[in-house]
Chains A and B, each alone.
Chain A
Amino acid sequence: MSLTTNRIKTTALTRIIVPASLGHVGATGGGLMANDNGTVTFAQGGAGVWILPIKDLTVGDTIMRFTIRGATAGAAAKTLAFSLMKSVSASGTITASSVQAATSDTTATAHAIDLETYLTTPSKVAVKEEYFVKCTMTTNGAGVTATLSSVEILVKKTYGQET
């Protein structure tokens, strides 16, 4: 027999998996999804921006950490910059601001991207806000590519009490 109640509030940490292919090209093109791997690839010479909206957040959630997953190929320079952003509507415009930037990945050699960033100040999702990760991918030199797989978001959620 199950207990049905709305009088117990439970807090929990959970890790949301956000596939990179849920995102879209930002103001600067470069990322391509035309593959069967569910990934986003930035070819050599790109300086593209990719916007990955964070699904499955609920007002009141607290974001603690974000982790970028992917891979780079080629042994020349690349600069991969990631920032957790939020935007809010105002009269005539939508204002986006950086919540926290990750340390840029500038490793020249081919490697797996596994970039974990704890927020200095955990960010509580407020009414009217939406969150996204802005990925700015600069690849230079022959044979250099960068591929994004997913972003993992560590969130503190509260379940159980009806609002």
Chain B
Amino acid sequence: MLRLGPTTLETTPGRAGTPLGAVVEQYRGYVGQKLDQLAADVANLRAGLPGNDRTSAQRRWLAAQFTWQQVGAAYGSFGALGTAIGGLANGLPQGVADPAFTGLHRIEYGLYSGEKLPDLRGHVDRLAADVDTLRGGLAKLAIVPTDMPIRCHEILEDALRDHLSGQDDYGSGMAYALTSADVLGTRVVLEELKPLIPTPVLGHSPYDQSKAALDRLDAALDATKVDGRWPDYQGLTKHQRQPVNGAIGAALEALYRIPSALGKVQ
């Protein structure tokens, strides 16, 4: 265990020499870029707090949350730091009032429940520190290579479970924005794995099917926008939700085939 500020990161040697090991290193580079962006987003959010412009602060929070979602594939690998940055209040004895509820969703909760903006400063500082810790530890971070194929569908499994159920909505109603960021993250992993996905089975390529299904999901998401803006998810009717529910279901039924298609690749 390597001590890295407020939380810890496990370190194990990578296997850059294997095909999936190479994918991990490629992916690590992508995460690094996204974490740099996240650090900038969080700094931007912090800079806006004294101005007391709630709408602006909400917009800046969404930018940061959107960037974090795109990292998606590494959730499990970030351990306690990942929870500190993007965790939910689920399972905490005091729920949203629990001191252990920190990070992006805690800030979302404050921004949408009327907490005074200056009072959120502590949460934003903590978030900035956690993001910096993660950036500093990324090079040594263990990412299990065989987790990469599974992430192809697990990112959107999380979107289905947390965003589209409404369970991780702490007031913003931005389920579709976050899901759309998850699609971006999924596409990155899928493209990185593409060279390793074997010849089509019975003429149907799991890659092609997944890509087409992600395109349809993006189209379904885009169709929900009103005047170019994401709708408040909590206000949508069943009929308004069905197209995205169907499209993400179809995408997952395609993506879940990637891990077994890659079953023998190490």
- A and B pair up: no
Tell me the B residues contacting A by CB distance below 8 Å: none
